[in-house]
């Protein structure tokens, strides 16, 4: 009887141990089941004033630096690239070396091909272009070549509505070049810009050469209306952040080139790119980059 009892007792303990081990295994396996979460996508954004290609810049003329401009862009591999001061022949040369991109935008002088562009490059395999347009910083923003606010040079903003094929999310990108002389023009321009942005009900990225620093009223208008300077979310303000470098690599002055975002985006990384090639800089502006998630 004692042997039978012992055998049954051992069998009972064995069964309970097996059940307990199965239960423990089940609980441990739960830790490998990810919680449902909204998928996020990395978005690499660059703004770059490439200096207009007909400028009499001597050894810094376009023919001597165009490959360095392309190399700077390729080194970062932006998904979205806002260019300023680009002329049509510069765009054509860049796109021939970077066939993975399409471009949207028009020349500021006639709304077609004449004059500088504030265009947007985008990876054509990743993004669908749902709509696009350009407006002029003036009292008549739909009139090509118009200017009113004390700026001697025509100033524009080109914009695009993108559909990200990776996530099926949509967002707007605006790309601007504000006036370099007239502060009233910069302030009026950012007021118009914010009005245009506020009409959109989707996430927004804003790139550009604003020709003023983040303490100016023009930039304050942007910040006070809910947009975020991606660079400043990573880097506290300090000296040596200038982005207009005179082709000499200077870092004095203000950071005047920006990547702003609406609150739907988070900034993972942002940098001022100070790459040079054998002591030569690709442009008289440093590009600014941001890696975003959304």
Distance (Å, whole) CA 209 – CA 199: 22
For the chain, the domains span: 42-293
Tracing tokens 């952040």 back to the chain, one arrives at: 241
> What average pLDDT does range 264-277 have in this prediction?
98
Contact 169, 265 (CB under 8 A): no
Interstrand relation of 80-84 and 120-123 (parallel, antiparallel or unpaired): antiparallel
Sheet containing 101-104, strands listed edge to edge, beginning at the edge strand earlier in sequence: 101-104, 120-123, 80-84, 42-49, 288-293, 266-272
pLDDT band at 181 (very low <50, low <70, confident <90, very high): very high
What confidence tens digit (pLDDT) does each residue in 254-265 have? 999 999 999 999
- The verdict on pTM exceeding 0.85 is yes
Neighbours of 92 (CB within 10 A): 10
Cα–Cα distance list, 86 to 38, 42, 283 (Å): 38, 27, 12
> What average pLDDT does range 10-27 have in this prediction?
48
DSSP 10-40: HHHHHHHHHHHHHHHHHHHHHTTSPPP----
What is the sign, positive or negative, of the torsion defined by CA atoms of 215, 217, 223, 229?
A: negative
pLDDT band at 41 (very low <50, low <70, confident <90, very high): confident
> What average pLDDT does range 246-253 have in this prediction?
98
Cα 283 to the center of its chain, rounded Å: 19
pLDDT band at 40 (very low <50, low <70, confident <90, very high): confident
Provide the terminal-to-terminal Cα distance of the chain, rounded to the nearest Å.
71
CATH of domain 42-293: 3.60.10.10
> What average pLDDT does range 238-255 have in this prediction?
98
What is the sign, positive or negative, of the torsion defined by CA atoms of 85, 89, 90, 92?
A: positive
């Amino acid at each position: 009887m004692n042997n039978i009892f012992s055998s049954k007792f051992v069998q009972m303990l064995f069964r309970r141990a097996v059940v307990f081990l199965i239960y423990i295994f089940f609980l441990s396996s739960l830790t490998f089941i990810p919680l449902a979460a909204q998928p996020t996508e990395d978005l690499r954004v660059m703004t770059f004033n490439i200096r207009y290609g007909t400028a009499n810049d001597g050894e810094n003329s376009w023919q001597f630096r165009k490959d360095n401009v392309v190399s700077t862009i390729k080194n970062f591999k932006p998904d979205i690239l806002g260019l300023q001061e680009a002329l049509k022949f510069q765009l054509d040369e860049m796109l021939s070396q970077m066939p993975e991109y399409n471009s949207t935008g028009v020349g500021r002088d006639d709304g077609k091909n004449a004059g500088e562009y504030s265009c947007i490059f985008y990876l054509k395999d990743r993004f669908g272009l749902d709509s696009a347009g350009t407006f002029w910083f003036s009292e008549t923003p739909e009139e090509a070549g118009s200017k009113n606010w004390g700026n001697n040079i025509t100033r524009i903003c080109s914009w695009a509505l993108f559909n990200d094929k990776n996530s099926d999310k949509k967002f707007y990108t605006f790309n601007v070049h504000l006036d370099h002389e007239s502060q009233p023009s910069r302030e009026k321009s950012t007021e118009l810009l914010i009005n245009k942005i506020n009409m959109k009900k989707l996430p927004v990225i804003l790139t550009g050469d604003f020709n003023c620093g983040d303490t100016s009223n023009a930039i304050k208008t942007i910040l006070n209306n809910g947009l975020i300077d991606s660079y400043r979310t990573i880097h506290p303000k300090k000296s040596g952040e200038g982005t207009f470098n005179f082709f000499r690599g200077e870092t004095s002055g203000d950071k005047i080139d920006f990547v702003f975002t609406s609150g739907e985006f988070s900034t993972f990384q942002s940098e001022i790119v100070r790459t040079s090639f054998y002591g030569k800089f690709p442009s008289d502006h440093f590009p600014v980059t941001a890696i975003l998630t959304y």
